[in-house]
Structure formats: structure tokens, C-alpha cells
Structure 1
Amino acid sequence: MNVDKRFVVLIVDDDADDVFLARAAAQQAGIPVELISVENGDELYGFLNQKGRYAGVRRPDLILLDLNMPVIDGRQVLQELKQPDGEFRSIPIVVHTTSGSPDDVKYCYEAGANSYLVKSADFNQLKSAMDNLLKYWFVTVYHP
């Protein structure tokens, strides 16, 4: 636990409005985070493997993953990143999506998600959820 460290949160979401709101909510949480966003699973892999414009980027401390995206969707990303022998399996993944479907929740936890949050249309609820999320992952728990 080191609140002086600037943590990297990678938002994987194709909806620019959702990314904007997540950024605004996170900035009010008081936890030093650098928020970076990519629009789909393909861009996520480029980021994690430091390809092209992502050369030299720091590995994220947390991934916020939407499920429903073009190119490579969140379900496939989750399954691939959490493979037992996967290079990135230790990065915590919080699914942050509009779906509250019990089937989606079950699937994501079985695939290795560390948490599952349903996006809220209410900014105060989003702010509260983001505050709790960031404090939990970057103040309460320890990272390798």
C-alpha cells in the first residue's frame, strides 16, 4: 500500500461518454491515478504488449473492462488475460459494464474477473462506486 505512488488504471471501453464520466468520478476520489483509455480488446493488447504508440507505457495496476465492445469484446479479453499461464493474469480486472445480467456476472467471475460493477447513469452513484473501487484497490489491498 503506497498512496504516494501514482497508479495506472486502464479503461477499456468504446463509449467516450462512459470514459469521460469514469475519469471525472475518479479524479474526485483523491487517489493519485493516471487514467488511460483504449476502445477495444485489440487496443488493449497493443497497450499491454507496448506496441506502436504504446511503446514504453507502464503496465496498468488495474483494468476497468467493458463487456460489449467492437473488434474484441470484454468477455474474450477476460478469458484470454486470465489464462493460468498468461503473462497478464495478475493484473486485477474489474468489469464495468451496463449489463446486470446474472449470466454475465457469473460468466465474468468464472473467467477470472476480480470484481463486477454495473455502470450507473447517476453520477453521484458512479462517483461513490469509483471512490470505493480506487480506495479498495490502491489503499486497502497490497499489490505484487
Structure 2
Amino acid sequence: MERGQSPKLILLVEDNRGDVRLIQEALKETTVAHQMVALKNGIEAMSYLRREGEYAGAQRPDLIMLDLNLPKKDGREVLAEIKTDPKLKRIPVVVLTTSKNQEDVCRSYDLHVNAYITKSGRLDRVFNVVKMIAEFWLEIVTLPSE
């Protein structure tokens, strides 16, 4: 990390507490200086991203990891809202889901998802994939600033 550069912020939108813990542990193993905010549904995610209510002072995330199957507002709706909002559309969104449904894959790419990754049933694979996602999107790729 360059001097004076603040830690990267990862917004994780995931309702499964076990997956949240696994992702937190995987991120600890990366070389990326980061903070993570975990939210459990799409309504909270959009309030956070739009800096509404309790999230009025929220920091803009550098990366969003998004599950598709969420309560209240699902990840498909969240992705559509992010990618059609001029203030949010440049934030990279990686769908991290158990869905292998081709309709979900195609719809996500039609909505301009940056990557669609199906969670493996093997914890070690999920762990390694999360590390690769963070290192790729937050260390290798050049992203536009807010």
C-alpha cells in the first residue's frame, strides 16, 4: 500500500453468517489493507450505498461482494440499482453466490456485473477465491476514484 493511502473498503452483502465469517477470515490472509462492512440484506445495502439514515456518513466501498439470494431485496435487484445509478455504477461488483443457474449468470452480466463466481462447496476453495478477488480488484486493477 502506498504511503498515505487509506485501507480499501469492501462491502459484503451476505445473509449467511457462516459465509460472512469465512470471507472475513480469507480477507485476513490477503496482503490488502482493508476494512469490511457486512450487511445482511439488499435494503441495508442500498441504504448504505446511498448514505441514507444510519449510513449517512458511510464511506464509499472500493469493492462490493454480493450474494444473489438475499432477504427483503435480492441481489439481482441490488445489482440493477447499483449499475443504473450514475454515482454507484463504477464500483466493481463481484457476485459470489451458490446459484449456477444460467439465467442468473446471463442476467448478472446483462446488468454489468464485473464478475460472477459460484461458491464451491469446498471451504478451502471459497477461502482461496475470496483472497484472489480482493487481491485482484484492490491491488492489481486500476479503479476510478469517486
Q: Tell me, which stretches of 5 or more residues in structure 1 are unaligned?
A: none
Task: Indicate the residue corresponding to 2:143 in structure 1.
Answer: 143
**8 A contact 2:83–2:112 mirrored in 1:** yes
Task: Indicate the residue corresponding to 2:106 in structure 1.
Answer: 106
Higher relative contact order (CA 8 A, sep 6+): 1
After TM superposition, the runs of 4+ consecutive aligned structure 1 residues lying more than 4 A away are 1-4
**8 A contact 1:29–1:130 mirrored in 2:** no
Task: Indicate the residue corresponding to 1:132 in structure 2.
Answer: 132
Task: Indicate the residue corresponding to 1:8 in structure 2.
Answer: 9
> Shift of residue 2 of structure 1?
4.8
Q: Structure 1 CA distance, aligned partners of 2:132 and 2:100?
A: 19
Q: Structure 2 CA distance, aligned partners of 1:137 and 1:29?
A: 12
Q: Specify the code of the residue in structure 2 equivalent to 1:15.
A: N
Aligned residues: 143
> Shift of residue 124 of structure 1?
1.5
Give the TM-score of the pair, scaled to structure 1: 0.91
Give the TM-score of the pair, scaled to structure 2: 0.90
Q: Structure 1 CA distance, aligned partners of 2:88 and 2:2?
A: 22
Cα RMSD for the two superposed structures: 1.7
> Shift of residue 55 of structure 1?
2.4
Task: Indicate the residue corresponding to 1:115 in structure 2.
Answer: 115
Q: Structure 1 CA distance, aligned partners of 2:119 and 2:112?
A: 19
